[in-house]
Structure 1
Amino acid sequence: MDWNGAKVLVTGGAGQIGANLVERLVGMGAQITVADNLWRGKKSNLLKDGKPMINMETQFLELDLAERAACDMACAGQDIVIHLADVVAGINFVFGNQYFLFNKNALIDNNMIQAALDAGVEKYVFVGSACSYPADKQAVLNPPPFKEEDVYPALPESAYGWSKLMGEYLCELAAQSGKMETGVLRFHNVYGPRCEMSPEKSQVIPALIRKAIRHPKEDFVVWGSGVQRRAFVYVDDAVEGLIRVVERGMGKGAIQIGPDFSTSIREVAEQAVAASGREIEIVFDPTKPEGDMDRAADWTKAREILGWEPTVGVAEGIKRTYAWCEAELHRLDNQT
């Protein structure tokens, strides 16, 4: 596929995955429009070497995609939509705002896909989540790596997992209309540069990196026992999956993006401390929620259909993320 000149809408394009995708697509000559309400995304994420990657006056739309008119505006004239926008944050927010989160994501996903259909968009990519797997499958350590079909019978632990599964189903139904090609990637835990680091909205790796950088002003406390495990995906590998699903994976059903092994949160904490180069005591707080116990991805389908494989290991990925976070926090500190 020739991306040069393709009109591509990236929803959530000022977020971690979206901004890294925008950088990649701009380099390939695509004409990018970003739609983002800046709830977690930041305009600064769309800078490269201090300069905007897109025209922020004409190619950036600050919109609430829970509103249908906003979705119509964003989809108008687009060839491809890559729909990353959703409401998510750390585990405390996810489980503390379940109705809000499910309702908002359902509105966003329904409005976006209908707007894309009405606008005549040719290709539509939806990003799901490994949180959609049944809670009982993730409740034990070292389960077999999940296959795509293991998501059913459905019983996600969280409203977030349910919302993302419903988004996948919407894509299946839209594809059946014959009016639009759809592609679905089911991401495991993505991390990397341009991540959200705030205490309110950050997920585990950026949260622990922030604590390591801020220590001793901020205590290095790990939520839960540290035994819980996740399959972490470096953001560049996630972006590669998004490029390849448009090129090779449309109409192929959900495709997982993640490694076939998991890493404990204790190991993540140790890697964050190692990246700091300092001696920091790691404190675990078992009174805090841990979420699902363990999950990993059987990425056979990604390999066979997309030619995709994970390329950046957790230790190297955390080093790169730590360096970005340290520079970003220094920049923010200098602004105050």
Structure 2
Amino acid sequence: MPDRPPRVLVTGAGGFIGHHLVSFLKDEGYWVRGVDVKRPEFAPTEADEFQLLDLRRWANCLEATRNVDDVYALAADMGGMGFISANHAAILHNNVLINTHTLEAARTNGVERYLYTSSACVYPEHLQTDADVTALKEEDAYPAAPQDAYGWEKLVSERLNQHYHDDHDLDTRIVRFHNIYGPLGTWRGGREKAPAALCRKAAEAKLDGEREVEIWGDGEQTRSFCYIDDCVEGIYRLMESGHSEPLNLGRDRMVTINQLVDIIGEAAGIVPEKKHVDGPQGVRGRNSDNTRL
């Protein structure tokens, strides 16, 4: 065993999942470097070292990956469906640069293990047209037909990680997130995901003495949601495993968005009056098959 604690890099450490992962890894005894273009919004980072770096730039990726044993690659240009549907070109451009540069820099600097965070957005749109959707297995990603640029980039980056594993003997991991939620996540500004956005709307309704909560679409679209503590523990367990193939990480209990609003309304102390409006909805239904977990 080395005299020093193991050293890890978390990219995207200023974001929701990355911030929680830094705290988890510190509790496990790791020395942690966090890197992002911004600091965490709602709580100070626990990282031993935090660098503000734009990982679209090669030199910054070399700097970020120096003198670390493992990399947890969470950095991405992303947001909720409203943001994704309006920014296909920027998302694809920025994330291709981030992920190709970070992976090659990790190889160049002799990183031992590299965990890439993918997404359930890689799955074909035609498998997710019904609210009562069949849970998605890892092999369902092919033949490839993601709904949007975010999913396409994630799928290509998965392949790149697998090729680095095969061609360069880099010990890679790939995790596919399914709708992670919890405290300290973005809840305003256009990049927020559905749970945080709906919590904000319910809180605003409560504070204003109202009951109206706006929902995009008819609210019968379904999702399964995974709590952040379960997510970061799952990430860590995957890194410690010998599993190099893509792996789902999520819950397998679906709810409709209407049901989610009712749950949030109860927590806020209101009976929501649902206002259904046009807006980006994503796929009709999505659920995680967790057979391999």
TM-score, length-normalised on structure 1?
A: 0.82
- Are 2:19 and 2:40, in contact at CA under 8 Å, matched by a contact in 1? no
Indicate which of 134, 148, 162 corresponds to 1:172: 162
Alignment match, 1:18: 18
Q: What letter matches 2:117 in structure 1?
A: V
**Length, aligned pairs only:** 289
User: What secondary structure, in the 3-state scheme, does the structure 2 residue paired with 1:300 have?
Assistant: coil
Indicate which of 217, 237, 262 corresponds to 2:230: 237
Q: Distance in 2 between matches of 1:204 and 1:195?
A: 11
The Cα shift of 1:43 comes to: 5.0
Alignment match, 1:269: 261
The Cα shift of 1:35 comes to: 0.5
User: Which residues in structure 2 correspond to 1:1-336 (within 5 Å)?
Assistant: 5-38=5-38, 42-45=40-43, 47=44, 52-55=45-48, 59-215=49-205, 217=208, 220-251=213-244, 253-285=245-277, 287-302=278-293
User: What secondary structure, in the 3-state scheme, does the structure 2 residue paired with 1:64 have?
Assistant: coil
User: What secondary structure, in the 3-state scheme, does the structure 1 residue paired with 2:134 have?
Assistant: coil
Structure 1 stretches lacking a partner, 5+ long:
303-336
Q: Distance in 2 between matches of 1:115 and 1:292?
A: 35
Q: Distance in 1 between matches of 2:47 and 2:13?
A: 11
Q: What letter matches 2:228 in structure 1?
A: V
User: What secondary structure, in the 3-state scheme, does the structure 2 residue paired with 1:202 have?
Assistant: coil
- Are 1:199 and 1:207, in contact at CA under 8 Å, matched by a contact in 2? no
What do the CA deviations read for 1:111-160 (whole angstroms, capped 9, x no partner)?
01000000000000001100110010011222221110000000000100
- Are 1:117 and 1:179, in contact at CA under 8 Å, matched by a contact in 2? no
User: What secondary structure, in the 3-state scheme, does the structure 1 residue paired with 2:251 have?
Assistant: coil
Q: Distance in 2 between matches of 1:99 and 1:148?
A: 26
Which protein is richer in helix relative to its size?
A: 1
- Are 1:102 and 1:160, in contact at CA under 8 Å, matched by a contact in 2? yes
Q: Distance in 1 between matches of 2:168 and 2:92?
A: 28
Q: Distance in 1 between matches of 2:172 and 2:85?
A: 30
TM-score, length-normalised on structure 2?
A: 0.94
Q: Distance in 2 between matches of 1:54 and 1:34?
A: 6
Q: Report percent identity of matched pairs.
A: 34
Alignment match, 1:305: none
Q: 1:141 to 1:44 in 2, by over 3 A?
A: closer
The Cα shift of 1:231 comes to: 1.5
The Cα shift of 1:262 comes to: 1.7
What do the CA deviations read for 1:170-227 (whole angstroms, capped 9, x no partner)?
1101101243100001111011111001141111000000111112659521111101
User: What secondary structure, in the 3-state scheme, does the structure 1 residue paired with 2:292 have?
Assistant: helix
Structure 2 stretches lacking a partner, 5+ long:
none
- Are 2:85 and 2:280, in contact at CA under 8 Å, matched by a contact in 1? no
Q: What letter matches 1:233 in structure 2?
A: C
- Are 1:35 and 1:60, in contact at CA under 8 Å, matched by a contact in 2? yes
